[in-house]
Each structure stands twice: as structure tokens, then as C-alpha cells.
Structure 1
Amino acid sequence: MNRILPHLILYSDLGSESILVRLADIIRDCKNGGAKEPLLQRTNAEVKRILDLSTVCGFDENLWQCYLTWVLMTNDNSFTRTCERTGAVEGGSVNRFAENDFAVFHQLFHYDFSELEQYLLTDCFSILTNYRAIPKRERTYNRDVSAQVRALRKSLSEAENGHEMFRLVTDYYRQYGYGVFAMNRAFRIRRGETGLEFLPISNVDGVRLEDLLGYERQKTELRRNTESFLAGKHANNVLLYGDAGTGKSTSVKALINEYYDRGLRMIEIYKHQFGELSRILAEIKNRNYRFIIFIDDLSFEENEVEYKFLKAVIEGGVETRPENVLIYATSNRRHLVRETWNDRQDMEHHGDIHRSDTMEEKLSLAARFGVTINYNAPSPKEFQAIVKALAERQGIQMDEKELMVKANAWEVRHGGFSGRTAQQFVHYLEGLAE
């Protein structure tokens, strides 16, 4: 392995801390007759790193090949960036360098660890290459990463040569891209030591729009705008506003499950992170995905000024918002910034209120969302219909009259008519049934 890695060109920048580079160093030291105990400790440390990665990503069967596949899927270089946007262009000179690298990876995929194992008196790689993972609950690992890595790993393991691996991986880049955006559907952000970090959300709620009962007009309008966006047509930023618990956030979250396969990704940010918006846009504007920046429960008190960062990004800054980015926000307020009567006490003309500059400033944020969708609380009859449908969906057997009496009593004690209250009531009934 230590003699193979130096032949990499495009994928050569693996980093000195990478598992692959460290294992190559270990194999070199073994061939030079290094002390066995320290080398075994170093080997076990790298094996543990592979196992840890496999647990997080849900790898199985051949963990060594899964790790190499993950390296190919996440490596950021000029070739992966080009392939994400245009695929592998036939006749391009860079393809010759890439095929050279895939010939190296073909050797690594079928690397024989028996000499290393014999020297160190271990069978760790034999176990890694014939692994049977313990079944895990879906929320303990990222199912999107697991599915993609395992599918591509299987295809690459059957490839006859580096040329076939080149075709398989470049097809993957063209379809999905590379890096964390290729393998994950939703993210949060964090300011790290090396800059802005996108943190994948591994346990994304699997809700879909049809799971939200009622609000058909609202869901249709949300779909229409999102599908226009995905088709590369003009689309608007969206504000979903209305009563609490009516499904505003659920509707937005459902989009990522509906349209993930069409390249939609979601980045959830919080109010205190609005100052990072320009940096987020700089990171994602040249990627071959469509991004929704999701802001949940958006509102501002009178003395908060973070909304100005948001206004500048939505519309009005010197740099235009990238065409692959939209902002979807939810709020219980139609006008997002708290107003007071003092804002109107600018002057009066003939008994009419003259809107002050302060008030215009506050109202202008909501006006910059091109689509506003109202989610109003259901009527008592609609609330009962939601309860009945949810109970049937969960297989709860109860006389309808008794169900309605209990639901109405629950609503009085738990915050009024809303889909959230209905869902909480049905969860309560499920707990009693157990």
C-alpha cells in the first residue's frame, strides 16, 4: 500500500491524518522490520477509526471497501467539482489523471492484508472485510449515507478495472455530487476553527406532505413554488404564518423528503446565526443542488436588529441571492417584527395615520417574502376529523363518540384546536393501549 498511494494525483491530498495514509505508513514500517507491539497498537487504532465511521454511517459487509468508497464520495478536488456540474466530459485530459487514480483505488479495493496480519499476529482485516453489523435503529445512523455507500461499494467491488470504476464514480458525481451535500438531505451550521461547518442532520423526520391532514390549498401552493425552483424557473421565498401547531414547520420539513432525489437540500439556521448568511451563500452558490434555508419560528422583538441581515440577503444587498437558494420561514406572526403604537406616532394629516419610517422598516421584512401562506387553526369539526383520521391511521380501536368526547376534553386542557394537539392526543391514546 505504501508503494501504491504515491501514484495518486487528483486524490493525493488525503491528509496525513487519514486512515489510508496512516495504514500505508504502518505497512511500510512492518516491511522495514519495525517493533511489532507499537505497530499493532497503531493498526488497532486505525481499525477502531474504521469501526467508528462504520457505526455512524451504517456500513456493513466489507468495511474496508466501504471506507474507500466513502473517501471517493467525500473527496473535494478539481475533478469532483467539475463532475458534479457537468459529469466526466469525454476527451478531457483530466480524465487520464482520474483513470490513473481509479486504477490505484482498484488495487486498494482488493488489497491483500494477509502479510500484515501474519507479521502482527492479528486477523482484524479479515474480520473487517467480512463484517456483519449488529442491526441498529434507524435514528442511530444516517440512512442516506448508508444506502449510498453500500450501493456504490457493491458496484465498485465488482468492477473489473480502474476504467470501470471511473465510469461508476463519475456517474455518481453527476447524479448526486460529492461530499456532505451528496449524502445528506438536511444540515445545521457551526462556526469552527477552520471556518463555517455544515453539520448533517442524521435523524431527519420522515414526514411527507400527505401525512399532514387538511391544508390542501396551502400544500399545493408550497409544492408549486418548490417544483418551479427545482425546475430552474423563477420561484419566491416563502413565509408560512398562522396559529401554533397547525403544521407550518411540518410542511417545510416534508419537502426535503419529497424532493431529496431531485437535488433539494435544506439548511436550518437560527436567529443568532443570521450574521453567517453571507458566508453560507458563498459556500453553496456554486454547488449543483437547490438549497432551502429554513428558519423556524421567525419573529423579532422591538429591540432586535438581526432581521436586517436577513433583509439584505433576501433582497437588497449588493450581491444578488444565488439562483440555487431560497429562504423558507415559519412564524406565528404575519408581520415578523414586533410593532408598537409608538411606531405610528410620527405625524397625522387630516386624521389619517402617516406611517412612520420606523414602521415601514419593520414591515419591509415580511414584504420581501414573495409567497405568504396562512395556516389557520382548524374549526372544532375539522379538529375532530383530524383526530378520527389519526386514530384510524394508528389502529386505535375506540367508539367514535367516546373518542370525540375524550378529544374535546384533551383540547380544553392542552392548548386549543390544532393538528399538534390532535397528534399529542393520539400519542396519549397509543400509550394507554400499550
Structure 2
Amino acid sequence: MTVVTLVSALSLAAWLWLLLARGFFWRTDVRLPAREEPDDWPSVCVVVPARDEAAVLPASLPSLLAQDYPGRAEVFLIDDGSTDGTGGLACELARRHEGLPLTVASPGEPPAGWTGKLWAVRHGIGLARAREPEYLLLTDADIAHAPDSLRALVSAAGTGGFDVVSQMARLRVESVWERLVVPAFVYFFAQLYPFRWIGGGRAGSGRGRATRTAAAAGGCVLLRADAAERARIPDAIRHAVIDDVALARAVKGTGGRVWLGLADRVDSVRPYPRLHDLWRMVSRSAYAQLRHNPLVLAGTVLGLALVYLVPPAAVLVGAATGQGTTAALGAAAWLVMAGTYLPMLRYYRQPLWLAPLLPFTAFLYLLMTVDSAVQHYRGRGAAWKGRTYARPDAVAEEGRAG
């Protein structure tokens, strides 16, 4: 057996393991769980951190104000130092659209050790606590909600006894690059954090890996207020660039229950028309996901190459050199890969012929991940809307030095 054949066999084995033993991550049927509407609806405060969001706010904020929620609810939009008139536009939209009451406030610049978003969330939660809500809905400024979104989230949380109910908003897929990259982004996220494992129970209950896995989608997170206090949200995760996953881990670490699934009627209205836009979205946090560890980066690059790049390479090499076994192993791995991608393409209503192109998209993500590390070591890592954030250990060292 040649080295190429052996590597091809390893790639196929990896795909069989992913297919059967990774929480069926490739399935897209994890939606809001069965729920019953309560007799007495709990109060909810919606917190929307916003920085330079005037372009998307007209398509998102009215959907929050128009929530058909039987209980008491209000919206707090926290203007995080915007320079495009986000706060004023929000007030104007509230005047034009009847619905839930809106409060617009600004927390000022974040202190050292805080990301701008989490500093805004902290300010919003502080204002909300004066209303003594039972739930907090943390939602991004680019997320549009169907009229029954809030009542569905609250019903699911109450029925299932969840402290966090999060939906991964359906991202926009209109440009060529969005069609190629966006469904894969959600597919890779589900592979990393299988949705079925996330709702597997409370941390420390002895139910294995499914219990330890925790994640959320920051665009739509319903959080029980008392669970937020127990987990010290957001103070405990104030430096987190990937704040949604950090939030879920903090809640689960204090004994809370977390649920995450795909959304049916919660949509992101933010456009990513160019590859450059999508590249920035991924690369700004990819190296943070790897804990800024060069060894983890190297392992990730090798893993991506083995799983996604070896199958098509094996087919080409096998066909060119007459090694039928190598070509067959590569084709089988490629077939499994494409087959697991089909449900996500259907969810995004995209043509199924995009499935065999997943190795190319994975190669783009590999390059984005490497670029994320390069930008980090150049001092431009985790940059977003004019701010660049240091890694958590650097923040801690600065704090001790001061």
C-alpha cells in the first residue's frame, strides 16, 4: 500500500466517523423543541448591542418592535459608539412603528479587558434589571425576527426547562460568494458543536461528551435572568471574542441547560456580497477559536487537509497514476462528504450541485484560519469596526502589571 493510498484510507475512515459518531451534525432537523404556551407569560427584556448599524437597522429593529408577545416586553438598544447615527435612527424607527417600547442608551467606550459588544450588553442588562425580567433576549442588530419569535422562544424555554434557548439565524445567501461560503460556515459550526450534544443535559451530571458540549448563536439568545446572574453574564466572559460560545459554557458550567438549533423564521439581514466581506467575518475570530495556540493551528490545518482536501486529491492522483484503490478510496470519502453537506444546502435552498465543491470552500476556510493567525501576530487580530482585541492572557497580564 502506497503512502497516498494509506492517507486516502485514513480520510475515508475520518468521514465514516464524522458520519456516524459526531452527533449526526450534518442533519438539519434540530429546530425549536416541542413547547406549550404558558398561562402566565413571563416578562422579557430584549437587549440589542449596536455599533454602526444604520444600514441594517430598518430591516431588523421594526421586527423586534412588532413582536406579538402576550406578556410584558420591551427593547433596549445600546448604541456602542456609533458614528453613523444608529441611535437616532433607532428612535426614529420606534416613532414610525408602533409596538414594544424602546429605550436607546450608550455605555461609553469599553474599559480595558472588555469587548465593545459585551460592554454594551452589560449596560443593557443593567438597565433591564430595573424591570426585573424573567428572561433576557440578546439579539444582534442585524437579526430580523418573525412576529411570533419571542413567544416561541419563551415557550420552548419554559416547556423544556432550558436556561438558554438559542437559534442560529438563517444567514443571507444571495451573492455568488454567499452561496458558496455561508452554508459551509453553518455546516462547519455544527460539525464543531453538534447541536444534539449541546442539549444533552447539565454539566457535571455524568452524561459524557454530549453534556460537556456547549455553544450558542449570538444573534439570537434567550437567557433566563437568574441563570445570567449565577453565571455572572457578561462579566465572566467580558474579554471573549467568540462571546456566544463563551456564554453557553458559562451557563452550562453553573449547572444550566442550553439548547441550540437552526432557525426557521429568524434571519440575518447583513449582506456579505464579496469574498473579502466573508473573509473578514471568519478570519477575525478563527484564531481565537483555536485559543491563539500555534500547535492547535497546525493540527487544524492538517486535519482540514486530511478530511477535505485529500479526497479530491486522491481521485486525481489515482486516476493519473492508475492506482484504482487510491482513486476509489478518495471517491468514497468525497461522496460521504458531499452527502453530509446536502441537508445544509437544502436548508439554505441552494442547488445541490454545490455539494461536491465543499473541498474548495474548505480550502478557503483553511486560508482564512491561517490569515487569522497571521493578522493576530501582526497585532491586527480580532479586529472589528475599528477595534482590535488582545487575546485573554494578554489582557490578564496587563491587569496584573497595572
TM-score (norm 1): 0.24
Instruction: Please tell me whether Structure 1 or Structure 2 has the larger radius of gyration of its CA atoms.
Output: 1
TM-score (norm 2): 0.25
